[in-house]
């Protein structure tokens, strides 16, 4: 487990396919050297939020702190880009520890597909007809039937992403909660979602699955024609995200709630 005051001297650089990110990687490698991620004290991800999520997924079991620098279009999870004083910025960085969500999606053939999500797990209708879903928490049915375009379960880290666009609540990064947010709900029309403890086991069952097919997505991993999706926090897995001092994930989530 990384320490708050640890020195980060062996740095691995990964970049998106954007020209700005590739150029930045070349400049940083020339200045700070090149090392394989498995041997690094820290990984510096160059790109946008998508690249940051891909990097966290790629090294999800390695417990290597990851520091993002924005060379993409969206940079909520990224720090400002600069080639200067990188070692000092890493040494002074705040570290946010987060747990991903685990998803077991069972398809119409009975096959179980396992995936992890750092931001959210989403279910979407696959065709023109709305999805019909049933929601159970720890084995107890809480919503018999939800007719909608879909539903998502978001972590605090992901609550400012798709969850916010779907009018879900922003969660403080240390809140022991998950956001369950419907996407374009039709019935019950007034249901706007729920906040649930992050220790619960969520089961979403697809009703009329053949007539109203549904897909499930954990971040960017998709499973088609699902009949049941089970979601819970993967408490055994810790991810370490690094942010410049006074610009940590907790501060960013708080500040986002006062933006218009």
Task: Supply the residues annotated as catalytic.
Answer: 49
Which residues on neighbouring strands pair with residue 207, listed in sequence order?
A: 132
DSSP E strands, the chain: 11-15, 42-47, 66-70, 94-98, 101-107, 112-117, 120-125, 131-137, 140-154, 177-187, 194-197, 202-207, 214-218, 221-223, 226-233, 239-243
Burial (0-12, 13-18, 19+ Cβ within 10 Å), 190: exposed
The Cα–Cα gap between 97 and 65 comes to: 9
CA of 75: how far to CAs of 46, 52, 81, 147, 161, in Å? 10, 9, 10, 34, 11
The Cα–Cα gap between 199 and 193 comes to: 18
CA of 61: how far to CAs of 108, 188, 236, in Å? 30, 40, 10
């Amino acid at each position: 487990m990384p320490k708050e005051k640890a020195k980060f001297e062996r740095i691995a650089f990964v970049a998106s396919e954007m020209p700005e990110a590739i150029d930045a990687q070349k400049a940083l490698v020339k200045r700070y050297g090149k090392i394989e991620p498995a041997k690094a004290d820290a990984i510096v991800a160059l790109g946008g939020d998508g690249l940051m999520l891909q990097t966290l997924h790629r090294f999800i079991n390695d417990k290597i702190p990851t520091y993002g620098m924005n060379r993409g279009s969206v940079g909520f999870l990224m720090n400002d880009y600069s080639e200067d004083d990188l070692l000092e910025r890493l040494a002074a960085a705040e570290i946010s520890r987060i747990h991903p969500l685990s998803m077991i999606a069972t398809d119409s053939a009975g096959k179980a597909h396992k995936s992890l999500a750092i931001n959210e797990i989403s279910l979407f209708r696959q065709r023109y007809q709305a999805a019909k879903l049933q929601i159970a928490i720890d084995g107890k049915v809480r919503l018999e039937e939800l007719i909608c375009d879909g539903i998502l379960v978001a972590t605090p880290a992901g609550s400012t992403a798709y969850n916010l666009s779907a009018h879900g609540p922003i969660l403080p990064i240390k809140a022991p909660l998950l956001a369950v947010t419907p996407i374009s709900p039709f019935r019950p029309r007034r249901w706007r979602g729920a906040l649930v403890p992050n220790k619960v086991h969520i089961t979403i069952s697809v009703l009329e699955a053949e007539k109203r097919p549904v897909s499930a997505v954990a971040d960017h991993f998709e499973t088609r024609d699902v009949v049941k999706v089970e979601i819970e926090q993967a408490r055994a897995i810790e991810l370490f995200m690094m942010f410049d001092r006074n610009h940590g994930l907790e501060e960013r989530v708080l500040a986002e709630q006062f933006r218009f």
